[in-house]
Amino acid sequence: MRTINYLRVSTERQGRSGLGLEAQRASIEAFCATRQCEPLATYTEIESGKRDDRPELIKALHHAKVTGATLVIAKLDRLSRNAAFLMTLKDAGVRFICADMPDANNLTIGIMALIAQQEREATSTRTKEALQAAKARGTKLGNPNGAAALRRASKGNTAALTTITGNADAHALDLAPVIADVRSTGITSLSGIATALNARTIRTPRGGKWHATSVKNLLARIA
């Protein structure tokens, strides 16, 4: 099984210190060793799980999508604590596995997603209550959840969901920059492009190998 590995921590301090990242890396590596996986790449993100507009996650999803690889994470909450986002991801054709529960089925993932969101909402409620108590004591508070931040988060969430959904046309658009890169090396024939895509372990929308005909169809969709 070819994999794209994704790690995430919530703060820059954790990212600099390696706290959390090394544990995730060890968990994923242990899983991959057990399943004799072929890791293609590892993406590391420093971003809150409350936000779904995460560039490294989008890159990891794109890489997994165009190569037909499986996204591997240490724990479900490393992806998101938003149940709608997780369920959309589950149904969008991007396969992912949690290293701490690799045999979980779709029902289990759905339940875990709902539990993760419940935990997120409970944490948010406790934070608001603590802020209200601090305000009542006369403590001056900032505005960490302002309208601009909410608009950015909403826009990013839409971009993330758009990236992981779609049909063959969307798959073709995902491959457009790859095709451009192949052509920049001087490879322009259909058979040459097919060979280059196969060498990069990129699969067709149906998971097969590329041939001149399938490359011709791909280019027609991109045009």
Label residues 162-195 b or e (16+ Cβ within 10 Å = b). Answer: ebbeeeeebbbebbeebbeebeeeeeeebebbbb
- Active-site choice (10, 80, 191, 214): 10
E-strand stretches of the chain: 2-9, 38-46, 70-73, 96-98
Asked about 10 being catalytic, the answer comes back as yes
Closest by CA position to 64, among listed 201, 199, 206, 167: 201
Q: At what angle do helices 190-199 and 168-184 cross, to 10 degrees?
A: 100
What gap in Å lies between CA 7 and CA 46, rounded to an integer? Answer: 9
Phi, psi (deg, nearest 5) at residue 154: -65, -45
Give the three-state DSSP class for 194. helix
E-strand stretches of 10-139: 38-46, 70-73, 96-98
Residues marked as catalytic = 10
